[in-house]
Amino acid sequence: MLETFPNPHPQRDYLIEHEVHEFTSMCPITGQPDFATISIRYVAAAKCVELKSLKLYLQGYRNKGIFYEDVTNVILNDLVAACGPKWMQVVSHWTVRGGIHSVITVEHGKNPLA
Amino acid sequence: MLETFPNPHPQRDYLIEHEVHEFTSMCPITGQPDFATISIRYVAAAKCVELKSLKLYLQGYRNKGIFYEDVTNVILNDLVAACGPKWMQVVSHWTVRGGIHSVITVEHGKNPLA
Amino acid sequence: MLETFPNPHPQRDYLIEHEVHEFTSMCPITGQPDFATISIRYVAAAKCVELKSLKLYLQGYRNKGIFYEDVTNVILNDLVAACGPKWMQVVSHWTVRGGIHSVITVEHGKNPLA
Amino acid sequence: MLETFPNPHPQRDYLIEHEVHEFTSMCPITGQPDFATISIRYVAAAKCVELKSLKLYLQGYRNKGIFYEDVTNVILNDLVAACGPKWMQVVSHWTVRGGIHSVITVEHGKNPLA
Amino acid sequence: MLETFPNPHPQRDYLIEHEVHEFTSMCPITGQPDFATISIRYVAAAKCVELKSLKLYLQGYRNKGIFYEDVTNVILNDLVAACGPKWMQVVSHWTVRGGIHSVITVEHGKNPLA
Amino acid sequence: MLETFPNPHPQRDYLIEHEVHEFTSMCPITGQPDFATISIRYVAAAKCVELKSLKLYLQGYRNKGIFYEDVTNVILNDLVAACGPKWMQVVSHWTVRGGIHSVITVEHGKNPLA
Amino acid sequence: MLETFPNPHPQRDYLIEHEVHEFTSMCPITGQPDFATISIRYVAAAKCVELKSLKLYLQGYRNKGIFYEDVTNVILNDLVAACGPKWMQVVSHWTVRGGIHSVITVEHGKNPLA
Amino acid sequence: MLETFPNPHPQRDYLIEHEVHEFTSMCPITGQPDFATISIRYVAAAKCVELKSLKLYLQGYRNKGIFYEDVTNVILNDLVAACGPKWMQVVSHWTVRGGIHSVITVEHGKNPLA
Amino acid sequence: MLETFPNPHPQRDYLIEHEVHEFTSMCPITGQPDFATISIRYVAAAKCVELKSLKLYLQGYRNKGIFYEDVTNVILNDLVAACGPKWMQVVSHWTVRGGIHSVITVEHGKNPLA
Amino acid sequence: MLETFPNPHPQRDYLIEHEVHEFTSMCPITGQPDFATISIRYVAAAKCVELKSLKLYLQGYRNKGIFYEDVTNVILNDLVAACGPKWMQVVSHWTVRGGIHSVITVEHGKNPLA
């Protein structure tokens, strides 16, 4: 489902960031909707993530029941499988539930720019 | 009282953050209410903190008299005892008293992501 | 419980505003704590509300179960009974619950400054 | 589906506001998700809107295809039918689509507080 | 070029607002690009402005030389001709030029909601 | 102590505003310092308030014990006595004490610009 | 020095606003520089103010000693003489001096849009 | 097209930053306009980038179809070719498309100030 | 004058921060009042600073003439003498004087948490 | 012109920051005024910069034509010559010209606190 296109400047390590404001999934226990902003940062190797397929991929969670910690790791795993980046980070910022605001940060590989 | 659930991705070190906006306890000397935001950041080992039990645990301070420095350390100790994280930080931001705004930051262990 | 002091400038209609940032009460059904900012605006007649007694009066709701709409009206009624203002408005801004942020606005009398 | 409870202070006209941050529906043409904040302001007659049923009612649009202008009017009509307010206003603020941010404002009755 | 669709709730006067963040035209004298946010507010009669055609209509100014005051009036005239609203307002907020930030506000008809 | 200078444009009613950020006085009961922003708005008749003398006049409250409501009225009375304006408003915004933020607004005369 | 151009839509009363962020003049007593934002709002009759000449006109105050109240009235008088508007307002917001922030608001004529 | 001027202080390594708020290009697939802020940071060697030519150079993309990742790399390459800096970074912040906000960061050389 | 209490968790190095919003002293040359926010950050050894005595100690500067650089160092010296911390930092942020905003940052010891 | 006073605490390395909000100079080519905020940070050796002379020194650029990069370096050179600091940084933030916001950062020496 996630599509890619060839990195147009593969000879240079550079940072690509996509912040998706309108992510929604569901709580696996209560069935209540959850809302988050998903931030994706990566240094591409041969392939870049195509934005329209990324949007559709993330829309696929709209009616899926899944925990905060789990979905953040799964998105990272799927993106890494699709585009094989040198380094990738996924951060999910969740809206307040019961007075608690949660953020999950996961990484794959070592950032060559750090 | 604090419950946990198994870390769904134990093979990867990643950051979990919970910011609790509605913490209140009482001054042990004057009996006046204190208000704070409590920020919890950790890298889980085998167990993650369950959010509903965290909310109820923190509500348990509502009518307890305890100093800023003390309660922040005690919350960290209780959370560490409950979920045995690789690293954990607790920060309490207190509302203004007598024109003074206080923040207490305590840590347990060494952050493997730093 | 609410105390007053004589209006020091009764010959002039003027506006007094007190914004109380740290109000908390409880949901009468779930027993969960609620948090609000309470804004009080009034034009005094003979008496002004004394601030320390106002703070203690509002702290009296800390462990009381009462609905948003009800508590806002009751606070207005109690303040009007205590200081007999020409006009008074009470506004309660409640923190988010289930993704919903609520505000209740009640008034007594006609504002002579409007 | 929308439930109500008796207005606890029917002898006084006062303002009730609920801002729902996490509304989502779908575009009836493209099937793409839309996101909005829905603000509801009203002066109750005999009945107030119960918040949990309001949340569930609005979640009912999650997978429904409906236009901005239409859904805002329909929500107003349903709320008016459920609680028969003296006056009610519904405002929907939609997230940006194609560089355009839209807001729809609809009212029923005449505000006795204006 | 501007398309419309039938007002889904013609029996009620209500407010429709569209804020277009990415308007650009050119200075007729220097040929330099100008940038603005265009805000459109109206009360529809029988017809509503279709958003995709609005976006394309406004993109038509991208390489056109036209003054601030003129383009704001022309956009209003074209929109009024296309959808025959009861009332319409167009506001253009221009980015800073030579340390001056300009705003032009034009209206057609009398707002039945004011 | 308050000095004035002749209104340079007495034939036109216009608005003059001075916002003083660094006002401090003392609580007459506890002796604790209070801090406020004092906003002065007026339509001059023959005389304008000279700014340096205004600053020194307000500094005169630094070690004076006086209540919020009282000092705001006294400042208005002194300014009116000094410059005889057509209309004048004084607003004091006080920093938080015991979780309460207070604002006092007093006026003299009728604003010819309203 | 102030130039004008013909109002391109004289048959319609509409609002033109120019906010000039970088105005500077000098204190006539101390010779110290003053800094302000000058906001000009008007409804044109036959003529509009040309922006480049407005910028140069306002730059003419750079090394001139003149009081806040005076310069605001003089700018209004000069603009009215140059373009004969139906209504015009000039507001000057001055940076802080001795902890005091001042604003002067002057108007000419009656706003046909109010 | 990009012009330069001699670095006036070549004996010292220092940071030069230019943030261009009004960049626009086009999507090579849909032909729709894209909007970005372009931030350029560099440590000059013998030559500095002349600002007017920089503005005109960036305006040259107004009607060019080019991807986010590509245009950011091309701008860096062109600037490096023109002024031969010791180090240069180009960051493009793009406005939201389909709920996604993207940022591309590219660098040339090693920052002697880091 | 500065009082202390025993560090309740001396076996752990942790960060204590107090931000005092309402500090005022006087210029030793002009006698004019100065206003600052004083931020104190420290890692306690055996003793913590008691907040009420800290407030009273800082109020002691209200009518004292002392320079920015001097008072910041003296406050640090007095606090270090009173509680013997492992590390302490004092930062003073002063309100604008003559268009200049000043900040002084002083430290004692080496931060064991850095 | 730049005056100094003896460092009152020379035995301790500490940070002094002055942010000057109201700097203005002129473009050497067009003669148009430029506006900037100048931030000065330093660790003093034996001498500190006196603030009133700093203000007057910077006012000396009011009618001088000089480029961004040049004036920032010259200010640093003059300040270093006057007070011989262990380390000093000067940053100039310029207001937007042609849609471009520029910042120049220059340093002298090595910061002993870094």
ipTM: 0.93
Residue C89: its chain D contacts at CB < 8 A? none
Q: Report the pLDDT value the prediction gives residue E40, as an integer from 0 to 100.
A: 98
**Contacts with G96 from chain I: Cβ below 8 Å:** 96, 99
Chain F residues inside the 8 Å CB shell of I95: 21-22
What local confidence, expressed as pLDDT, does residue F103 receive? 98
Whether A63 and D59 lie within 8 Å, measured CB to CB: no
Residue pairs spanning D and E at CB distance below 8 A: 55
Contacts of residue A63 in chain D, CB cutoff 8 Å? Answer: 62-63
Q: What letter does residue A32 receive in the DSSP assignment?
A: -
The per-residue pLDDT of chain G, averaged, comes to 96
**Residue E34 falls in the annotated catalytic set:** yes
pTM of the entire predicted model? 0.94
Chain G residue with minimum CA distance to I98:
G97
- The model's confidence at residue C42, banded by pLDDT at 50, 70 and 90, is very high
For chain C, say whether F104 makes contact (Cβ under 8 Å): yes
Mean pLDDT along residues C73-80: 98
CB-nearest partner of H69 from A8, A19, A21 = A8
Cβ of F110 under 8 Å from any chain C Cβ?
no
Tell me the nearest-neighbour CA distance from D12 into chain A, angstroms.
32
* Residue B9 to residue A73: CA distance in whole angstroms: 7
G49 and G88 Cβ atoms separated by less than 8 Å: no
- Chain A residue with CA closest to H67: the answer is A8
DSSP state letter for D111: -
Q: Does A98 have pLDDT greater than 90?
A: no
| Alpha-carbon gap: B7 to the closest alpha carbon of chain F (Å) | 40
Q: Between chains, do J95 and E95 touch, taking CB under 8 Å as contact?
A: no
CB contact C52 to F (< 8 Å):
yes
Is residue H20 scored above 90 in pLDDT? yes
Residue from the list B101, B104, B107 with its beta carbon closest to the beta carbon of I16 = B104
G95·I99 Cβ contact <8 A: yes
Residue of F nearest to C56 (CA): F98
DSSP state of C96: P
pLDDT at I98: 85
DSSP D65: B
CB contact E96 to J (< 8 Å): yes
d(CA A97, CA A76): 24
Over residues I55-83, the mean pLDDT reads 97
Average pLDDT, chain I: 96
Q: What is the pLDDT of residue J98?
A: 86
User: Subunits with at least 3 CB pairs below 8 A relative to chain H?
Assistant: A, D, E, J
Chain G hits for J63, Cβ within 8 Å: 62-63
**Do B21 and A107 lie within an 8 Å CB cutoff?**
no
Which of J96, F41, J65 is closest to G91 using CA atoms? F41
D99 interfaces chain H, CB cutoff of 8 Å: yes
Contact (CB<8Å) B73/I14? yes
pLDDT of res. J47: 97
- Using an 8 Å CB-CB cutoff, list chain D residues near A33: 22, 24, 59, 62
Q: For position I69, what pLDDT does the model report?
A: 95
Asked if residue C72 has pLDDT above 90, the reply is yes
DSSP E strands, B11-109: 15-26, 33-43, 47-49, 87-94, 100-109
CA-CA distance, J2 to I102, in Å (whole number)? 17
> Within an 8 Å CB–CB cutoff, is residue J96 touching chain H?
yes
Average pLDDT score over residue span J81-96: 98
Tokens of F89: 């408003």
D76 in C contact zone (CB under 8 Å): no
CB contact under 8 A, E17 and D104: yes
Per-residue pLDDT tens listing for chain F (114 residues):
899 999 999 999 999 999 999 999 999 999 999 999 999 999 999 999 999 999 999 999 999 999 999 999 999 999 999 999 999 999 999 999 989 999 999 999 999 998
Looking at residue H53, what DSSP letter applies?
A: H
CB < 8 Å to F33, chain I: 22, 24, 59, 62
Confidence of residue G94 (pLDDT cuts 50, 70, 90): very high
Q: Is the pLDDT of residue E49 over 90?
A: yes
Q: Whole-angstrom Cα distance, residue B52 to residue C14? A: 47
- Which positions in chain C touch D9 (Cβ < 8 Å)? 69-70, 73, 106
Give the closest residue to A23 by CA, choosing from A87, A73, A71.
A71
Separation in Å, CA of F67 to nearest CA in chain G: 22
Give the integer Cα–Cα distance in Å for D78 and D86: 15
Tokens linked to C78: 């109690």
H8, H15, H48: residue with CB nearest J105: H15
Separation of alpha carbons H42 and H13, rounded Å: 10
Q: Which of J35, J95, J99 has its CB closest to that of E95?
A: J99
CB contact C19 to B (< 8 Å): no
What pLDDT, on a 0 to 100 scale, did the predictor assign at position G98? 85
CA torsion angle J3 J8 J12 J16 (round to 10): -50
Q: Shortest CB distance from A100 goes to which of B7, B14, B20?
A: B20
* In the block, residue with structure tokens 């100048």: J38
pLDDT at residue F98 in the model = 86
Both tokens of C58, joined, read: 């509002």
* Percent of chain H whose pLDDT exceeds 70: 100
Task: Give whole-number Cα distances, F80 to A50, A109, E37, in Å.
Answer: 69, 71, 45
Q: What is the CA radius of gyration of chain B?
A: 15
What is the mean pLDDT of the segment spanning G7-11? 95
Contact call for residues D44 and D85 (beta carbons, < 8 A): yes
State the average pLDDT over residues H84-112: 96
pLDDT for the residue numbered B98: 86
B70 contacts I8? CB cut-off 8 A: yes
Q: Find which of I20, I22, I58 to mutate to test the F interface (most F CBs within 10 Å of its CB).
A: I22
Interface test with D, best of E18, E61, E79, E83 (most D CBs within 10 A): E18
Q: Does J64 touch chain I (CB under 8 A)?
A: no
The distance in angstroms from the start CA to the end CA of chain E is 31
* Residue I27 annotated as catalytic: yes
- Which residues on chain E are in Cβ contact (under 8 Å) with J96? 96, 99
pLDDT digits (tens, 9 = 90+) for J45-76: 999 999 999 999 999 999 999 999 999 999 99
- What are the phi and psi torsion angles at B95 (to 5°)? -70, 160
Tell me how far apart the alpha carbons of residues A53 and C19 are, in angstroms, rounded to a whole number. 49
Residues of C in contact with D15 (CB under 8 A): 103-106
Asked whether the beta carbons of residue I55 and residue B105 sit closer than 8 angstroms, the reply is no
A98 at interface of B, judged by CB pairs closer than 8 A: yes
A75 Cα to chain B: minimum distance (Å): 12
**Residues of chain D where predicted confidence (pLDDT) is lower than 70:** none
What is residue F62's predicted lDDT score, i.e. its pLDDT?
97
Q: From G100, which residue of chain F is nearest by alpha-carbon distance?
A: F20
Inter-chain CB proximity C18 and F106 less than 8 Å: no
pLDDT averaged over every residue in chain E = 96
Q: CA-nearest residue of chain J to H11?
A: J73
DSSP string, chain E: ---EEE-S-TTS--EEEEEEEEEEEE-TTT--EEEEEEEEEEE-SSEEE-HHHHHHHHHTTTT-B--HHHHHHHHHHHHHHHH--SEEEEEEEEPPBTTEEEEEEEEEE--TT-
A12 contacts in H (CB within 8 Å)? 73, 106
pLDDT over 90, % of chain E = 96
pLDDT class of C88 with cuts at 50, 70, 90 = very high
Q: B22–C63: do the CB atoms touch at under 8 Å?
A: no
